[in-house]
Amino acid sequence: MLLPYLLRGCSAKYVQVALSSTRFCIGCCSIRGVATSRSHLFLRGIPQRFLNLSRGAKTHRRKQSQEDDWKKRNKTILTYIAAAGVGMIGMSYAAVPLYRLYCQATGLGGAAIAGHDTEQVETMKPIRDRVIKVTFNADTHASMQWNFRPQQSEIYVVPGETALAFYRAKNPTDKPVIGISTYNVVPFDAGQYFNKIQCFCFEEQRLNPHEEVDMPVFFYIDPEFDEDPRMARVDTITLSYTFFEAKEGQRLPIPGYS
Amino acid sequence: MSTAMNFGTKSFRPRAPDKGSFPLDHFGECKTFKETYMRCLKNNRFDNSRCREESKEYLECRMDRQLMAKEPLEKLGFKDLVDDSQKENEAKS
């Protein structure tokens, strides 16, 4: 009967020592109080029943209220933890559209920047002191029989100025061939500043047998290229086109609307 | 290259051109303008700033022959050339 009280007394003592490190007098009092009740219990002279009645009632009530306090504290802590868990799950769901908005605003990863407006072409000023060399590359898919090559190996442009470049494609076969092309810009980071006003990509182009055509690309480099610290050491941009053969009735998605 | 799904690598996202695609010049109607432009580039060590007149003329040829949607030249970035020619006309008259 005494043992649970003893144990609770011990644990109470340790808890109070831990909690009241800055409140010495209160801690001392409570420790002394528990210790004296325990030491009294070992005296044979005084009947234990009597001792327990007088001291045990007070400590029992104190311990009962302490237990209630602990239970209440545990409940609040559990509530907080549960709320934090639910909050984390909610944040992970909300992160998807938020991240998309963030990417659009800052243009990370070469994605289309929100606010990339075509009116800029009219008002932009060329930045004369930053000359960039744009090299051209042309590829075809292995099964594509066109002869496709650029007509100039490089062009020196400045940001903010529109430029024109030409590719040439020839169909050496006896059958009309429909081609469709895509492009790539290296370095990838510079790709977000490389704006094409008009080109020949993403739409089907049909070449009759033994026909040769000039394909122009009209582009400019965004003037903000000069202000980006990541582009400070970029001097060369490579534009690379690849032609694939298009099958009849095939519809490809236009990029940029993902 | 752009489809590698490595964590953290930046991939390239192609964007559609602003004004769409040029129709093909099957009959070579603007070939002479293109030749002029290429010759100008070769003479000027491929410096685009020196050959803007020729590129403007090539685009005007395309627009005249229905090979390009008609647009005011300012919208294509030739505002300075248009202003210069206007000033010359005014000076003459």
Q: What is the pLDDT of residue B67?
A: 83
User: Across the strands, what pairs with A134?
Assistant: A155, A237
Q: pLDDT band for position B82 (50/70/90)?
A: confident
Comparing A30 with A211, which gets the higher pLDDT? A211
**pLDDT of B3 higher than 80:** no
Is A190 strand, coil or helix?
helix
The token pair at B7 is 């964590």
Buried b (16+ CB within 10 A) or exposed e, A140-169: beeebbbebebbbebbbbbbbbbbbbbbbb
Comparing B74 with A1, which gets the higher pLDDT? B74
Comparing B42 with B21, which gets the higher pLDDT? B42
Q: Chain B within 8 Å of A204 (Cβ-Cβ)?
A: no
Please report, rounded to a whole number, the percentage of residues in chain B having pLDDT higher than 70.
Answer: 87
Q: What is the pLDDT of residue A7?
A: 55
Q: What is the pLDDT of residue A257?
A: 47
Q: Which residues of B touch A (CB under 8 A)?
A: 1-2, 10-22, 24-26, 28, 30-31, 34, 37-38, 41, 45-49, 52, 55, 58-59, 68, 74-79
Which chain A residues touch B19 with a CB distance below 8 Å? 118, 197-198
> What pTM, to 2 d.p., does this model score?
0.62
Q: Is A237 exposed, middle or buried (0-12, 13-18, 19+ CB in 10 A)?
A: buried
Q: What is the pLDDT of residue A101?
A: 86
Task: Tell me the per-residue pLDDT of B56-75, one tens digit each, with 9 for 90 and over.
Answer: 889 888 888 888 888 888 88
Q: What is the average pLDDT across A162-171?
A: 91
**pLDDT of A149 higher than 60:** yes
Q: What is the pLDDT of residue A76?
A: 96
Cα–Cα dist A16/B20, whole Å: 77
Q: What is the average pLDDT across A69-79?
A: 95
**pLDDT of B25 higher than 90:** no
Q: What is the pLDDT of residue A115?
A: 42
Instruction: Assess contact for A217 and A150: CB atoms under 8 A.
Output: no
Most confident of A37-46, A107-116, A148-157: A148-157
> Interface pTM (ipTM) of the complex?
0.83
Short-list A152, A188, A165, A181, CA closest to A255: A181
Which chain A residues touch B56 with a CB distance below 8 Å? none
Q: What is the pLDDT of residue A114?
A: 41
**pLDDT of A79 higher than 90:** yes
Most confident of A67-76, A116-125, A242-251: A67-76
Q: Chain B within 8 Å of A197 (Cβ-Cβ)?
A: yes
Task: Tell me the per-residue pLDDT of A181-227, one tens digit each, with 9 for 90 and over.
Answer: 889 898 888 888 888 888 888 888 888 899 889 899 999 888 888 88
Transcribe A94-148 into DSSP letters: HHHHHHHHHHHHH-GGGPPPTT--TTHHHH----TT--EEEEEEEEE-TT---EE
The token pair at A186 is 């290296």
Q: What is the average pLDDT across A62-86?
A: 93
The per-residue pLDDT of chain B, averaged, comes to 82
The per-residue pLDDT of chain A, averaged, comes to 79
Which chain B residues touch A206 with a CB distance below 8 Å? 24
**pLDDT of B22 higher than 60:** yes
